[in-house]
Structure 1
């Protein structure tokens, strides 16, 4: 979704800049020539400040600045969860690195029968994490078997090792294209 928002924002900013450039190029010669400043006289500046719509323009520009800051913060946000809180049982909490949990789940899921490659991303909040698992299956693999093995032992081990009551996961299975075998 962020990729779509980025493309729409870049398109809108490009159109606004193009319109502003065309507007400035069209307005410069009547104002006094190429080398004259746009608002040189004090009366012209005061005239623009006395208009009532000037505040609407300033509010619109302030809104654009706030939207640009929101967009910048959205770009800097990390999609991966850096750590998970693990209850140690004595009232304290330990911190489990998210990357370590991702690697452990990816290694165990990658060792399943029929799985050629596995990518895991830990998302959510520290107290309520979730997994996004992408499995690339071999051509002979049965997707239902791979999904059952992932949801059973693999996610069960991850839940118990992290001390979580539940670990929701989203699995995406993909079978790469392959050529048919030639029978001779």
Structure 2
């Protein structure tokens, strides 16, 4: 079992908090809309919002209480801007894959002070894959953590390239070479294959 990353724990915590808030709000509105307090002969606490179908979350007095204050709209706009910025930064963080940066070299435990930059390893893997027969373009990218790197390969095959043969060439050449270069026992690899389209031929 792999340990959870800090980003994964943060995501789950935020999703749990948002989910609980939405669930509580939904149950509150549903109980008032169905008039469950009266039907079940329940007495809500004093000041409890939405206790009957005719109740509203904000009364007319509450809605107009601060609207005449000059600072109210500035504070409201600032709060909404901050919330939107936080939501956008969270979304961007989800779309970005973590990069290992520097990968320890030498197996487990790794050799002290010996590291390999992930971009250097990706460039070497890319160059070796592009030299394989049947491969038109290739791009390797390292993701994950330094202790548990992952290899992601995006390959475009020539129109006549055989996927099974290319995968076998990967397993016989570039991937074992990458493992030996970092002294690791395994390097999880995700391969995405595409096939280039045939150019149209004019019939004469």
Q: Same fold (TM over 0.5)?
A: yes
Residues 155 and 193, structure 2, Cα contact 8 Å, conserved in 1: yes
- Counterpart residue number, 2:152: 132
1:73-108 deviation per Cα after TM superposition (whole angstroms, max 9, x unaligned): 553685362221223767524221111000000011
The question of 1:172 aligning with 2:192 is answered yes
TM-score by length of 2: 0.53
Trace 1:1-184 onto structure 2 (pairs within 5 A): 48=65, 65-66=82-83, 68-72=85-89, 74-75=91-92, 79=97, 81=99, 82-87=101-106, 92-179=112-199
Unpaired segments of 5 or more residues in structure 2? 1-60, 67-74
Residues 117 and 136, structure 1, Cα contact 8 Å, conserved in 2: yes
Measure how far apart 1:112 and its partner are: 0.6
Of Structure 1 and Structure 2, the greater helix share is in 1
Aligned length: 131
Q: Give the superposed CA RMSD.
A: 3.4
Name whichever of 144-153 and 104-113 sits farther off: 144-153
Name whichever of 143-152 and 68-77 sits farther off: 68-77
- Counterpart residue number, 2:20: none
Measure how far apart 1:181 and its partner are: 5.6
TM-score by length of 1: 0.58
Partner of 1:151, secondary structure, is helix
Measure how far apart 1:152 and its partner are: 2.8
Report the Cα distance in structure 2 between the residues aligned to 1:119 and 1:67, rounded to whole angstroms.
34
Q: 1:80 to 1:102 in 2, by over 3 A?
A: farther
Unpaired segments of 5 or more residues in structure 1? 1-43, 50-57
Report the Cα distance in structure 2 between the residues aligned to 1:94 and 1:74, rounded to whole angstroms.
35
Partner of 1:87, secondary structure, is coil
Q: 1:91 to 1:112 in 2, by over 3 A?
A: closer
